[in-house]
């Protein structure tokens, strides 16, 4: 559960405070409460796993907790997407800046994979020629 807890800790201590300043109207306290509820469930699940490991009970008893955790996680994920998607969509424009930033900040093998999924006109004409003047100012922030 360490990765799970680290992810939420990063959101609560870094991402949410930064986003709160940029995305007014989002109730981050509700998202934090959902994190806390999920952590209470995962703590109970860990206890059940330890007991099962010591053969004191069956893992079948964890099924209701797993179902509750799944429902809470789905609600939480949907709420995050709903509340933050408008901001994300606004920030993912224009393509002339976003695509080069993504493309040139990937490791070479990932860059090739990503580029292969794009229409040839994007990688051969738009990014290197048509949009070059728009993204060139980002060059110091690009890996490639």
Average pLDDT, the chain: 84
Q: Report the share of the chain in percent with pLDDT over 90.
A: 19
Q: Reduce the DSSP state of residue 42 to 3 states and report it.
A: helix
Mean pLDDT confidence for 97-106:
85
Would you kindly state where each structural domain of the chain is located, as residue ranges? 2-91, 95-141
- Give me the phi and psi of 54, to 5 degrees please: -90, 10
Report how far residue 134's alpha carbon sits from residue 91's, in angstroms, rounded to the nearest whole number.
Answer: 16
- Does the structure show a pLDDT above 90 at 105? no
- The confidence band for 3, taking pLDDT boundaries of 50, 70 and 90, is confident
Mean pLDDT confidence for 45-67:
80
């Amino acid at each position: 559960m360490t990765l799970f807890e680290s992810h939420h800790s990063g959101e609560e201590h870094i991402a949410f405070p930064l986003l709160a300043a940029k995305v007014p109207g989002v109730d981050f306290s509700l998202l934090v409460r959902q994190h806390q509820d999920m952590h209470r469930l995962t703590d109970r699940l860990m206890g059940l796993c330890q007991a099962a490991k010591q053969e004191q009970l069956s893992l079948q008893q964890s099924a209701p907790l797993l179902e509750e955790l799944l429902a809470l996680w789905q609600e939480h994920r949907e709420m995050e997407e709903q509340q933050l998607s408008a901001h994300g969509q606004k920030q993912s424009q224009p393509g002339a800046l976003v695509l080069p930033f993504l493309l040139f900040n990937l490791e070479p093998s990932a860059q090739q994979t990503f580029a292969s999924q794009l229409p040839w006109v994007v990688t051969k004409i738009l990014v290197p020629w048509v949009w070059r003047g728009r993204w060139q100012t980002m060059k110091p922030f690009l890996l490639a």
